Amino acid sequence: MPFYENVVKNYANVELFQIDDNNEEDCLGWITILEKCETNVRNELKNENLDLKKRKKIAVGLQNGFDYLYEVGIMHYDKKLENFLLLGGVAKICDFGLVCELTGREVTGKWDIVEEEANIETIMLFVRF
């Protein structure tokens, strides 16, 4: 995933296989390691923590993020408040499970390190099975 202020940083993606699945034919799931954010937009709206100025800043940031993703050939289709994270007042788009890649690039490999200096203290771990 390319780096952009309004897109959550992706440090690593790891596919999980049974230990005896030597041909890696049956993926059990994957682990995605992302930068750690403070909260999501849904929680902040639910708790009434966002005034009009903050809401406008979030909306502009998300629109900038979606515009950027489109420019690099990614359509994000899982647009729900839980997938918009906040870090230091900056809105960040996450959860790229429902995307359409528009450029025709092939993505291969089961271990994709995006940033080698990822520090376990500064990242959040999401696991899907």
How far is 41 from 2, CA to CA, in rounded Å? 22
90 closest CA partner among 53, 47, 37: 37
CA angle 118, 88, 58 (to 5 degrees): 115
**Domains of the chain (ranges, CATH numbers):** 10-128 (1.10.510)
Q: Is the pLDDT of residue 120 over 50?
A: no
What pLDDT, in 10s, does the model give residues 1-59? 557 788 888 777 787 777 887 777 777 777 777 788 999 999 999 999 999 999 999 99
End-to-end CA distance of the chain: 21
